[in-house]
Structure 1
Amino acid sequence: MAPSLEAPTQIDLDAPLKAAPKLVAPEPEHCPGPESQQAGTADNCAGCPNQAICASAPKGPDPDIPIITARLADVKHKILVLSGKGGVGKSTFSSMLSHGFSSNPASTVGLMDTDICGPSIPKMMGVEDETIHVSADGWEPVWVSPNLGVMSVQFMLPHRDDAVIWRGPKKNGLIKKFLMDVTWGELDFLIVDTPPGTSDEHLSVTSFLKQSGVSGAVLVSTPQEVALLDVRREIDFCRKAGIRILGIVENMSRFVCPACKHESLIFKPSTGGASALAHDENIPFLGAVPLDPRIGMACDYGESFLTAYPDSPACAAIKQVVRRVGEELGLRGEDVLPEEEE
């Protein structure tokens, strides 16, 4: 989609979506939240400068939740991509998962980048120079192709290298706007790329989608135990938040030489890798994606790796993961991504 020649509409990201109390000090660690039912009365609130403010603030369900539910009523499947640890290729995998679903022309896909402080999805999708256009219906996603749309904070920054230095409430407000104001329309799949960890952004997405429902989460890891440690925490987060785990993907499971196709272990799975973890935790193992240096090249140039390098073993592995995710959603794998597309 070509950039609009019109001046972009200014969006006030500081405008509250709900009347929130004005705090006199930053929220401390383990704060229940100024809008929580326990705000100002919990044990963690003792001695906090905001205690009286939070205790007197109005409580109750967020009135914007029904609006979000109505906005996403035509989205069939909402998939979270989680990792727990940074550097495992979660955003890269999110982009390839989106390209995989959208390679079927019968499917319409949305990709939402909730990594507010490190938005990399626009670069990977080749649309980093685009801006958001606002219509009477809401914010228009940036369309990579006729059936693949993207939304990211990157589109709102004056310069692509600008740092986003925001506290939790402001990040949460933007995620809510992505869900409430973006005109996603009818989607077969909405893929939500999340930052590492189990904090603000994850809690915001799950709480905002609690009525419309999250179809499930795909966990991404590399084979070594250091990465799997954080994935175990992510599994615990999903279970506590009531999010169904669609399965785990082992990314960069081995290196495949593009020239000779020889395979080498880069990250040795000292404890059995993601497949062993999936077996121990009784969750599906979606597949292992080998490390191909051309994946990084495709992301740098904003191309679809699946289209640019269909002969790569990593391409075949990614397509198989796409089909497995579809099967976990109750769909037929060959309908999600027909075999003849390969």
Structure 2
Amino acid sequence: MTTQTHTDDHQPKQRLLDSQIQSHLESLIDENNGHAYGGVWTIKTDAERIMLTLHLGYPAEQEKASLEARIKRELNDSRDVLLEIDCQVERHATQGNITGLQGVKNIIAVASGKGGVGKSTTTVNLALAMAREGARVGILDADIYGPSQGMMMGFADGTRPQVRDEKMFVPPVAYGVQVMSMAFLTTKDTPVAWRGPMVTGALMQILTQTDWSDLDYLFVDMPPGTGDIQLTLSQKIPVAGSVIVTTPQDIALLDARRGIEMFNKVNIPVLGLVENMSVHICSNCGHHEAIFGEEGGVSLAKEYNVGVLGKLPLSLAIREQSDAGSPVVVSAPEGDIAAIYQSIARKLGATLASPQNEQFAMPTIGMSDD
């Protein structure tokens, strides 16, 4: 009986021509949008190194190490591979012909149809994740009645914005992120008992009278529902896109559907959906249980042809760290949950920067018998 010897399936390493390197890189898939990178590479080579610069329209600094490893495997070249990522975030199309906001390139609305689905927690961790990717980021807490971003970002009670030229608020900064909230203008023991016009007026004031400093992205933490503030945002503020936060629960999905419909009607593209509390992981035995249902967010995303940016577990750490003013992205940046938020941030940036996204910002024309 004879035995067969198996040779190594991998080809021996060699030195590729620059044109061959370019071909490999252009066909490499960008995992943040599912498309080939194309001709966004600058290549320099010498006898020992392949030096690459990847030019992107969205920040992806936290992906550099894993992408560099992917490239090394793809090229299988004997030389060292050194990667740099050059990020240039542009101002993207918005609804209508609304004048852009001074100091802000792109406004992203983070919304949910109902409360209790983790929208504010998603906003704060998404903003911090985007900042870790290399962007300049701000947060506007648009929940006038129940502002929470001040606490989540660790600001002390009584924090107040400085005032410049007697008319502009200078936003306080935490973890490198500029933040403006109604919580900075009231006390925690003073409820805001205002009617609709006063609320929308307050929103416009803190948005337009805040001296935002050269932001790539301003995340707006929306109040739940589809009321006055949402309509004001769509009519008066140039919004580049929105993110819908939901849970797999049927009632949450019903309200999330209303949120998607609202943004569609006002020509603000829904850039993706985040499914919170998708699964509970037992802290003792590690058992996974979908206590709020399974794949509800995925089904809703397919129905409206939007992407699922990410799915987050029901986690005690997420809640505890947010309540303590040290969100999980900064308190445990190397953990699995932070990695999910980083992935969501990159996918969001890539979706907004995609040429396919710009078509969704164009007005639609419909006909009816009414």
Report the TM-score when normalising by structure 2. 0.66
How far does residue 315 in structure 1 lie from its aligned partner after superposition?
A: 2.0
Shift of 1:314: 2.2
Shift, 1:294, TM fit: 0.6
Contact residue 128 and residue 154 of structure 1 kept, 8 A: no
Separation in 1, partners of 2:333, 2:282: 15
Is the counterpart of residue 256 in structure 1 residue 285 in structure 2? no
* CA displacement at 1:313 relative to structure 2: 3.0
* Aligned equivalents of 1:307, 1:256: Cα separation in 2: 22
CA apart distance, 1:316: 2.0
- Cα shift readout 1:35-72 (whole Å, capped 9, x = no counterpart): xxxxxxxxxxxxxxxxxxxxxxxxxxxxxx99x936x2
2:268 — aligned with what?
A: 243
| 1:184 alignment partner, one of 193, 199, 212 | 212
Instruction: Give the deviation of 1:93 after TM superposition.
Output: 0.4
* Matching residue of 2:118: 89
The change in CA–CA distance for 1:223 and 1:95 in structure 2 (over 3 A counts) is same
**Residues 1:143 and 2:173 are matched in the alignment:** yes
The TM-score with structure 1 as length reference comes to 0.71
The answer as to whether partners of 1:91 and 1:121 remain within 8 angstroms in 2 is yes
2: CA distance between counterparts of 1:116 and 1:321?
26
Residue in 1 aligned with 2:339? 316
- Inter-partner Cα distance in structure 2 for 1:258 and 1:187: 39
| Residues 112 and 119 in structure 2, CA contact (< 8 A), matched pair in contact too | yes
Q: CA deviation at 1:260?
A: 5.1
Cα distance change on mapping 1:96 and 1:143 into 2, 3 Å: same
**Does residue 224 of the first structure (1) align with residue 252 of the second (2)?**
no
Aligned length: 258
Whole-Å separation in 2 of the counterparts to 1:75 and 1:262 = 44
**Conserved in 2, the CA contact under 8 Å of 1:257 and 1:292?**
no
Question: 1:208, CA displacement in angstroms?
Answer: 1.7
Structure 1 counterpart SS, 2:278: strand
Report the identity percentage.
39
What residue is the counterpart of 2:316 in the other structure? 293
Q: Which one of 307, 326, 351 corresponds to residue 303 of structure 1?
A: 326
- Separation (CA, whole Å) in 1 of partners of 2:226 and 2:300: 19
CA-CA distance at 1:240 after TM superposition? 0.9
Report if aligned partners of 1:291, 1:314 keep a CA contact under 8 Å in 2: no
Is residue 130 of structure 2 the alignment partner of residue 101 of structure 1?
yes
CA offsets per residue over residues 202-225 of structure 1, 9 Å max, x none? 11112221xxx3110000000011
Contact residue 112 and residue 225 of structure 2 kept, 8 A: yes
The answer to whether 1:162 aligns with 2:185 is no
Q: Give the drift of 1:247.
A: 0.7
- The answer on whether the counterparts of 1:250 and 1:289 sit within 8 Å (CA) in structure 2 is yes
CA contact (8 A) 1:290 1:313 kept: no
Q: Is residue 171–residue 201 contact of structure 1 (8 Å, CA) maintained in 2? A: yes
- The aligned residue for residue 175 of structure 1 is 203
CA shift for structure 1 position 323: 1.1
Query: SS at the partner of 1:81?
Result: strand
* Equivalence for 1:4: none
Structure 1: runs of 5+ lacking an equivalent? 1-64, 332-342
Deviations 1:294-327 (A, max 9, x none): 1111111100311222454322221111111011
Equivalent position amino acid for 1:86 in 2 = G
Give, in angstroms, the shift of residue 170 of structure 1. 0.7
Report deviation, 1:133: 1.5
**Pairwise CA RMSD:** 2.1
In the alignment, residue 145 of structure 2 is paired with which amino acid? C
Asked if the contact 1:128–1:155 (Cα under 8 Å) also holds between the matched residues in 2, the reply is no
Matched-pair contact (CA < 8 Å) for 2:328–2:337: no
**Residues in 2 aligned to 1:323 and 1:107: alpha-carbon distance in whole angstroms:** 11
| Counterpart selection for 1:76 from 80, 105, 110 | 105
> In the alignment, what sits opposite 1:24?
none
Q: Which runs of 5+ in 2 are unaligned?
A: 1-95, 355-370
Could you tell me how far apart the structure 1 residues matched to 2:220 and 2:192 are?
A: 19
Residue 119 of structure 1 and its aligned partner are, at CA, apart by 0.6
What does residue 339 of structure 1 align with?
none
Q: CA deviation at 1:281?
A: 1.4
Instruction: Give the letter for the 2:99 counterpart.
Output: T
After superposition, what is the alpha-carbon deviation per residue over 1:57-114, rounded to whole angstroms, capped at 9, x for unaligned?
xxxxxxxx99x936x243122100010111000001001111101123x321110001
Change (3 A) 1:178 1:292: same
Residue type at the aligned position of 1:306: V
SS of 1:160's equivalent in the other structure is coil
Hey, what does 1:57 align to over in structure 2? none
